[in-house]
A and B are shown apart, each in its own frame.
Chain A
């Protein structure tokens, strides 16, 4: 590898490592435990995990069929649909939150009927947090899965049909297992995006401890009130995210090794 590339790569690693070191350097280690076990921290962490996992589940439920539609159908205007469904990736999250508010808010385009007919109010509720997180997280899953579906040789699905399998059976038993790496990767990306969601959440769902105050919100607010607490909460977020990334990776690697051919 050429030396300039090594140097630039080393700088890039430092760029990602330095902020972490900065936090560790300023962390109030003696009082860390107190902050960790504080109500603010445990409540926000529980809420964050709960909401982000729900957002990931919803992204999978709706995102996989959407990816399928984008990858496989001959639908006219597919490009437009893709742009529409992935807009929230590039949109400032605050703008997304505002848009959600006017669509699903109590007086919103659809929100008023949700309230009238079902008594369902999304803004400033935990459900609203999940909706906001799903809104920004699902595109990551859709794009990852769509790319995998495009790369998949459709002839395996045809082979399945000739063996007597219905389209649905084929999708479950042939297509989904074949794109499993992309499903896992897409789900992890979505989950990470949902966990870190801030802008759309605070705009659409507000900042109520125990109901809508997720970890990123708690970090931001405590930064003004009590920077030491903010640092500890930030480190918790980092540790949780890092642990999940590393854990999934190891499990994933183990899986790959298991599916290797057995030497006869």
Chain B
């Protein structure tokens, strides 16, 4: 009872060749830049684009296998899709949108509407049932799209950039909402995103896609700690710190304080990019940087002309410096260093 997919497909300039596995109840995030093939993978899983080679199995049922000529049409797959711009039907009310899948499956109108109303209640939109989709805000439309996809009780939920259409200000709150709603769904989920924060907040496993290939897969913690390529390092090789913001200070669960700028109080993620960390042998004096943490070098990875230095201490961090700087400071594992970061270089998002 899981999703297994080997997908090989040539479409336009994209040459896609990936293998995915999602265990029951798990969330896999496909992370990568635009044009890498993430959305095409979702289309293949949904049956909107047939694959050239490979095989897709959902819950033990083969839904696409060109070698044996098996192809299950989208409407016969146990799936739900939340599209990037939601694609709500404008000529129907919100309630009719959510009831659509049930009506298409020939459920009597009354039952379909009752179930749709219950789902709208769950996502907090009972008051909007009679409205047209265009009267909704982006976040509300997203919840309607989610309710519509979940109405038919799919085994596999596919989410294509569910937060990309929203403005930055509302993203954090909606990401939290989405996680809450997704937690009530016990099927498998595949999420496409280009934002590591989405993957961090919503997924168990991450597959990094680059030009139609999975370049690295695993938990986000593993990948963040040891990106295997320059590309992956740039994409997800950031220091993600969780904690509580009070005033201008974020306190981690281990009690370390991080001075930040422009943060709203409460639970939050802080993102420290490795290249914004300065390493020094001794604690710097007279600096404008608000943060300076002592630590011990645990590990040094070389990626191209840069070095990623893993530091153990009260706040474990990965710093990225040039090879020239590494040589000049003559840094080796076991050395004591100080990591310095300006408060304004730290991005904070409410959790």
- Asked if A177 CB lies within 8 Å of chain B CBs, one says yes
Provide the residues of chain B in CB contact with A163, threshold 8 Å.
75, 80, 100-101, 104, 148-149, 152
Closest B-chain residue to A259, C-beta based?
Answer: B132
- Asked if B1 CB lies within 8 Å of chain A CBs, one says no
Check B100–A160 contact: CB distance below 8 A: yes
Provide the residues of chain A in CB contact with B148, threshold 8 Å.
163
- Asked if B71 CB lies within 8 Å of chain A CBs, one says no
B98 CB to nearest A CB, Å: 10
- Asked if B185 CB lies within 8 Å of chain A CBs, one says no
Provide the residues of chain B in CB contact with A166, threshold 8 Å.
75, 104
- Asked if A225 CB lies within 8 Å of chain B CBs, one says no
Check A177–B134 contact: CB distance below 8 A: no
Task: Report the separation of the CA atoms of residues A261 and B140 in the bound assembly, to the nearest whole angstrom.
Answer: 14
Binds B, one of A40-48, A130-138, A151-159: A151-159
A260 CB to nearest B CB, Å: 8
B75, B92, B152: the one contacting A161 at CB < 8 Å is: B75
Provide the residues of chain B in CB contact with A10, threshold 8 Å.
none
Check B100–A162 contact: CB distance below 8 A: no
Check A161–B100 contact: CB distance below 8 A: no
Which size bracket describes the interface of B in this complex?
A: 20 to 34
Task: Report the separation of the CA atoms of residues A264 and B152 in the bound assembly, to the nearest whole angstrom.
Answer: 29
Interface residues of B in 150-174 (CB under 8 A from A): 152
Closest A-chain residue to B97, C-beta based?
Answer: A163
Provide the residues of chain B in CB contact with A169, threshold 8 Å.
104
Provide the residues of chain A in CB contact with B89, threshold 8 Å.
156, 159-160, 174, 177
Provide the residues of chain B in CB contact with A174, threshold 8 Å.
89
Provide the residues of chain B in CB contact with A159, threshold 8 Å.
81, 83, 87, 89
Provide the residues of chain B in CB contact with A177, threshold 8 Å.
89, 91-92
Check A262–B131 contact: CB distance below 8 A: yes
Provide the residues of chain A in CB contact with B91, threshold 8 Å.
177-178, 180, 259
Check A162–B104 contact: CB distance below 8 A: no
Check A162–B131 contact: CB distance below 8 A: no
Check A261–B132 contact: CB distance below 8 A: yes
Hey, what's the 0/1 contact readout for B261-282 against A, CB within 8 Å counting as 1? 0000000000000000000000
B146 CB to nearest A CB, Å: 13
Check A161–B135 contact: CB distance below 8 A: no
Check B87–A155 contact: CB distance below 8 A: yes
Provide the residues of chain B in CB contact with A161, threshold 8 Å.
47-48, 73-75
Provide the residues of chain A in CB contact with B152, threshold 8 Å.
163-164
- Asked if B317 CB lies within 8 Å of chain A CBs, one says no
**Besides A164-B152, A177-B91, 13 other A-B contacts (C-beta < 8 A):** A159-B89, A160-B89, A161-B73, A162-B46, A162-B77, A162-B79, A162-B80, A163-B152, A165-B75, A177-B89, A178-B90, A261-B131, A262-B132
- B residues within 8 Å of A by Cβ? 46-48, 73-77, 79-81, 83, 87, 89-92, 100-101, 103-105, 128, 130-132, 134-135, 148-149, 152
- A residues within 8 Å of B by Cβ? 153, 155-156, 158-166, 169, 173-174, 177-178, 180, 259, 261-262, 264
Selected A-B contacts with CB under 8 Å, 10 pairs? A156-B87, A156-B89, A158-B87, A159-B87, A161-B74, A162-B74, A162-B80, A163-B80, A164-B104, A173-B100
